[in-house]
Amino acid sequence: MRHVAIVGSGPAGYYTAETLQKADDIAIDVIDRLPVPYGLIRTGVAPDHQSIKAVSRRYEGTALTDNVRFVGHVAVGSDVTIDELVGLYDAVVLATGAPHDRPLDIPGASLPGVIGSAAFVGWYNGHPDYADLDPPLDAPGVAVIGNGNVALDVARILAKTPDEFAGSDIVAHARDALAASPVRHIHILGRRGPHQIAMTPKELGELGHLERASPRVDPADLPDEGDDAMLEPGMRKSVTHLRQFAANPVAKPVTIDFDFFAMPVAIEGDGRVERVIVERTTLDAELRSHGTGETYAIDAGLVISCIGYQTPPIPGVPYEHGRGRFASDEGRILPGLYAVGWARRGPSGTIGTNKPDGARIGEMVLEDIGRGAGKAGRPGLDALLADRNIAPVTFRDWRRIEEAEVAAALDGRPREKFTSIEAMLEAIGR
Ligand code: NAP
Distance from Cα 150 to the centre of ligand 1, integer Å: 6
- If you take atom 38 of ligand 1, which residue's CA is the nearest one? 149
Kindly give the distance from the C-alpha atom of residue 67 to the centroid of ligand 1, in angstroms, as a whole number: 37
Specify the ligand 1 atom closest to the Cα of 147. Answer: 9
CA nearest ligand 1 atom 31, residue = 348
In percent, the amount of the chain with pLDDT more than 90 equals 99
Mean pLDDT of the chain: 97
Q: Tell me the average pLDDT across 12-31.
A: 98
- Please give the single-letter amino acid code of residue 408: A
Name the residue at shortest CA distance from atom 3 of ligand 1: 308
Q: Do the beta carbons of residue 97 and residue 353 sit within 8 Å? A: no
Measured distance CA(254)–CA(227) in Å, rounded? 31
Contact 30, 68 (CB under 8 A): yes
pLDDT at 209: 97
CA 209 to chain centre: 24
pLDDT for res 367: 98
145 CA to middle of ligand 1, Å? 9
Q: Which pLDDT belongs to residue 76?
A: 96
User: Nearest residue CA, atom 18 of ligand 1?
Assistant: 104
CA 130 to chain centre: 13
205 close to 241: Cβ distance less than 8 angstroms: yes
pLDDT tens, residue by residue, 356-387: 999 999 999 999 999 999 999 999 999 999 99
Q: For residue 329, which of 314, 344, 343, 317 has the smallest C-alpha distance?
A: 344
Could you tell me if 265 and 291 are in contact, meaning their C-beta atoms sit under 8 angstroms apart? yes
Q: How many beta carbons lie within 10 A of that of residue 298, not counting itself?
A: 19
Q: What is the pLDDT of residues 271-327, one digit of tens each?
A: 999 999 999 999 999 999 999 999 999 999 999 999 999 999 998 999 999 999 999
Output the CA angle 175-176-178, nearest 5 degrees: 70
| 63: confidence class by pLDDT, cuts 50, 70, 90 | very high
pLDDT of residue 339: 98
Q: Which fold has domain 2-99+311-427?
A: Rossmann fold (3.40.50)
Task: Give the distance (Å) from ligand 1 centre to CA of residue 337.
Answer: 28
pLDDT of 348: 92
- Burial class of 271 by CB neighbour count within 10 A (0 to 12, 13 to 18, 19+): exposed
C-alpha count within 13 angstroms, C-beta hemisphere, residue 90: 21
Match domain 100-305 to its CATH number in 3.30.450.20, 3.30.390.50, 3.90.850.10, 3.50.50.60: 3.50.50.60
Which residues are 339's β-sheet partners?
94
Residue nearest to atom 21 of ligand 1 (CA): 146
Query: How sure is the predictor about 112, in pLDDT bands with cuts at 50, 70 and 90?
Result: very high
User: Which residues lie closer than 8 Å to 376 by C-beta, 6 or more apart?
Assistant: 3, 87, 88, 383
- Nearest CA-CA partner of 182 in 301, 273, 277: 301
Q: What is the DSSP letter of 177?
A: H
For residue 306, how far is its CA from the centre of ligand 1 (angstroms)? 6
Nearest partner of 62 among 395, 328, 386, 419, judged by Cα: 395
Output the pLDDT for position 195: 98
pLDDT for 321: 93
Which of left, alpha, beta for 349 (phi over 0: left; psi -120 to 50: alpha)? left
Q: Which atom of ligand 1 is nearest to the CA of 104?
A: 18
Q: What pairs with residue 4 in β-bridges?
A: 28, 91
Q: How far apart are CA 316 and CA 86, in angstroms?
A: 12
CA of 149 to the centre of ligand 1 (A): 6
Å from CA of 348 to ligand 1 middle: 8
Q: Under the phi-then-psi rule, with left for phi > 0, alpha for psi from -120 to 50, and beta for the rest, what region is 179?
A: alpha
Provide the angle, in degrees to the nearest 10, between the axes of the packed helices 11-20 and 354-369: 50
Residue spans per domain, the chain: 2-99+311-427, 100-305
Distance, CA of 210 to CA of 271 (rounded, Å): 34
**What are phi and psi for residue 291, nearest 5 degrees?**
-70, 145
What's the half-sphere exposure (Cβ side, CA atoms, 13 Å) at 257? 17
Residue length, the chain?
A: 430
Cα three-residue angle 230-350-329, rounded to 5 degrees: 95
In angstroms, the CA 195 to CA 235 distance is 8
The Cβ of residue 184 has, within 10 Å, a number of other Cβ atoms equal to 16
What does the pLDDT read at residue 28?
A: 98
Strands, E assignment, 247-320: 254-259, 262-268, 275-283, 289-299, 302-305, 309-310, 319-320
Q: Is the dihedral of CA 355, 357, 363, 365 positive or negative?
A: negative
The atom of ligand 1 lying closest to the CA of 348 is: 32
For residue 410, what is the DSSP state? -
- Compute the distance between CA of residue 182 and CA of residue 137 in angstroms, rounded to an integer: 7
Handedness of CA 258, 259, 263, 266 (dihedral sign): negative
Is this model's pTM higher than 0.95 or not? yes
Q: Convert the pLDDT of each residue in 179-195 to its tens digit.
A: 999 999 999 999 999 99
Distance in Å from the first CA to the final CA of the chain: 33
Which residues contact ligand 1 via a Cβ below 6 A?
A: 145-151, 153, 190-192, 196, 198, 200, 203, 306-309, 347-350
Phi, psi of 326 (to 5 degrees): -70, 145
Q: What confidence category does residue 103 fall into, taking pLDDT thresholds of 50, 70 and 90? A: very high
Cα 31–Cα 32–Cα 34 angle in degrees, nearest 5: 150
User: What is residue 346's predicted lDDT score, i.e. its pLDDT?
Assistant: 96
